[in-house]
Amino acid sequence: MRSDPTDMSVQVKLPTILRKHAGGEPRVSAEGATLRDVLGDLESRYPGITKNVLSEDGGLHRFINVYLNDEDVRYLGSLETEVGEGDTVSILPAVAGGSLALDG
Protein backbone atom coordinates (compact mmCIF):
# COMPACT_ATOMS: atom_id res chain seq x y z
CA MET A 1 0.00 0.00 0.00
CA ARG A 2 2.85 2.36 0.83
CA SER A 3 4.36 2.03 -2.62
CA ASP A 4 1.24 3.29 -4.41
CA PRO A 5 2.39 6.34 -6.39
CA THR A 6 -0.88 8.16 -5.63
CA ASP A 7 -0.27 7.96 -1.88
CA MET A 8 0.31 11.22 -0.12
CA SER A 9 2.32 11.78 3.00
CA VAL A 10 0.33 13.50 5.74
CA GLN A 11 1.09 14.51 9.29
CA VAL A 12 -1.03 12.87 11.94
CA LYS A 13 -1.37 14.77 15.21
CA LEU A 14 -1.87 12.32 18.05
CA PRO A 15 -3.67 13.02 21.30
CA THR A 16 -1.63 12.28 24.43
CA ILE A 17 -3.44 9.03 25.06
CA LEU A 18 -2.34 7.53 21.72
CA ARG A 19 1.27 8.68 21.83
CA LYS A 20 2.39 5.64 23.78
CA HIS A 21 1.79 3.58 20.66
CA ALA A 22 4.15 5.82 18.69
CA GLY A 23 7.09 6.04 21.06
CA GLY A 24 5.69 9.17 22.66
CA GLU A 25 5.72 11.21 19.46
CA PRO A 26 3.06 13.94 19.25
CA ARG A 27 3.09 13.87 15.43
CA VAL A 28 3.84 11.09 13.02
CA SER A 29 3.79 10.71 9.25
CA ALA A 30 1.50 8.35 7.44
CA GLU A 31 0.63 7.74 3.83
CA GLY A 32 -2.53 7.15 1.89
CA ALA A 33 -4.88 8.68 -0.63
CA THR A 34 -7.85 8.65 1.74
CA LEU A 35 -8.30 8.91 5.48
CA ARG A 36 -9.05 5.19 5.61
CA ASP A 37 -5.69 4.47 3.94
CA VAL A 38 -3.89 6.85 6.27
CA LEU A 39 -5.35 5.17 9.35
CA GLY A 40 -4.51 1.77 7.85
CA ASP A 41 -0.93 2.85 7.27
CA LEU A 42 -0.78 4.26 10.79
CA GLU A 43 -1.98 0.95 12.21
CA SER A 44 0.63 -0.98 10.22
CA ARG A 45 3.38 1.26 11.57
CA TYR A 46 2.08 1.41 15.14
CA PRO A 47 -0.05 -1.68 15.83
CA GLY A 48 -2.99 -0.98 18.15
CA ILE A 49 -3.04 2.76 17.60
CA THR A 50 -6.38 2.85 15.79
CA LYS A 51 -8.02 0.20 17.94
CA ASN A 52 -10.19 2.75 19.74
CA VAL A 53 -10.50 5.17 16.85
CA LEU A 54 -12.33 2.75 14.60
CA SER A 55 -15.36 0.82 15.74
CA GLU A 56 -15.74 -2.90 15.19
CA ASP A 57 -17.71 -2.31 12.01
CA GLY A 58 -14.84 -0.24 10.67
CA GLY A 59 -16.45 3.20 11.09
CA LEU A 60 -15.35 6.11 13.22
CA HIS A 61 -16.35 6.05 16.89
CA ARG A 62 -18.73 8.86 17.70
CA PHE A 63 -16.79 9.90 20.82
CA ILE A 64 -13.70 10.52 18.72
CA ASN A 65 -13.44 13.24 16.14
CA VAL A 66 -10.99 13.26 13.27
CA TYR A 67 -10.13 16.49 11.51
CA LEU A 68 -8.51 17.07 8.15
CA ASN A 69 -6.75 20.35 8.80
CA ASP A 70 -9.50 22.31 10.60
CA GLU A 71 -12.54 20.45 9.27
CA ASP A 72 -14.33 17.53 10.91
CA VAL A 73 -14.07 14.67 8.41
CA ARG A 74 -17.74 13.84 8.97
CA TYR A 75 -18.51 16.99 6.97
CA LEU A 76 -16.11 15.91 4.24
CA GLY A 77 -16.25 12.24 3.31
CA SER A 78 -15.64 10.50 6.64
CA LEU A 79 -13.15 7.67 6.11
CA GLU A 80 -13.29 8.12 2.34
CA THR A 81 -12.12 11.74 2.63
CA GLU A 82 -9.28 12.32 0.20
CA VAL A 83 -6.08 13.61 1.69
CA GLY A 84 -3.32 15.54 0.01
CA GLU A 85 0.38 16.06 0.46
CA GLY A 86 1.05 18.31 3.42
CA ASP A 87 -2.36 17.88 5.04
CA THR A 88 -2.64 17.41 8.78
CA VAL A 89 -4.96 14.82 10.28
CA SER A 90 -5.83 15.43 13.95
CA ILE A 91 -7.42 12.82 16.19
CA LEU A 92 -9.45 14.30 19.02
CA PRO A 93 -11.08 12.23 21.74
CA ALA A 94 -13.79 13.59 24.03
CA VAL A 95 -12.01 14.88 27.11
CA ALA A 96 -13.54 15.65 30.47
CA GLY A 97 -10.66 16.64 32.68
CA GLY A 98 -9.14 13.67 34.39
CA SER A 99 -11.18 11.30 32.29
CA LEU A 100 -11.40 10.82 28.58
CA ALA A 101 -12.34 8.49 25.85
CA LEU A 102 -9.90 6.45 23.87
CA ASP A 103 -7.83 4.49 26.32
CA GLY A 104 -5.46 2.84 23.92
Binding site for another protein (CB under 8 A): 13, 15-17, 26, 52, 61-63, 65, 67, 70-72, 75, 90, 92-103
Helix (H) / strand (E) containing 38 = helix 35-45
Task: State the nearest-atom distance from the C-beta of 42 to another protein, in Å.
Answer: 19
Yes or no: say if 43 and 23 are a contact pair by the CB < 8 Å rule: no
Task: CB nearer to another protein: give 1 or 95.
Answer: 95
**Residue 61: strand pairing partners:** none
Task: CB nearer to another protein: give 81 or 90.
Answer: 90
CA dist 72 to 32, 92, 98, Å? 18, 10, 24
Task: CB nearer to another protein: give 2 or 62.
Answer: 62
